[in-house]
Amino acid sequence: GASKGPVSGDVDQWLISPTLEYEVCKYFDAFAGARYNNISAEIRGPFGRVRSGTVDWWEPVVGGRVKVPLYKSLSFEVMGDIGGLGVEGTGLSWQVEPVLSWRFSKHASLQAGYRWIQSDFEQGSGANKFRYDVLMQGPQIGLTMHF
């Protein structure tokens, strides 16, 4: 966020992760897909000087989900994946997400839990080098569509 000192800045990040999932058995799904990362930053310095930019990248991901039924349409799930694997500037990325899931219809469920996601990406060199090696964590909510 912005600060009130002589230098301030903003960083915005979003990601999407389309995957195809296969139910191996009642309690385990395997999946493969991709993760798209988009980071925009702006730094404002003294005398109105502004520096900004956007970096984005795609990376492959593979993972799994363990599902433990609790009661009727309620379950506890733990999802994890690994990605990047050195494709086009990516290092190893990973995420782990334990959630409580409520399947409220045949085609949709809601999740609430916590998420850890590590991203590692590098591009360019010298003054134009961009390096992003960050572990983010926090509460997570989600909606899953089932087909």
Between CA 38 and CA 16 the distance in angstroms is 9
Spell out the residues 6+ positions from residue 79 whose beta carbon is closer than 8 angstroms to its own. Answer: 63, 64, 65, 95, 96, 97, 99
Percent of the chain past pLDDT 90, that is, above it, reads 65
More confident residue, 38 or 127: 38
Residues 6+ apart with CB under 8 A from 81: 31, 61, 62, 63, 64, 94, 95
85: tokens are 């694997």
pTM of the model: 0.78
Q: How far apart are CA 101 and CA 113, in angstroms?
A: 9
Q: Which letter does DSSP use for residue 26 in this model?
A: T
**pLDDT tens, position by position, 35-72:** 999 999 888 888 777 888 899 999 999 999 999 999 99
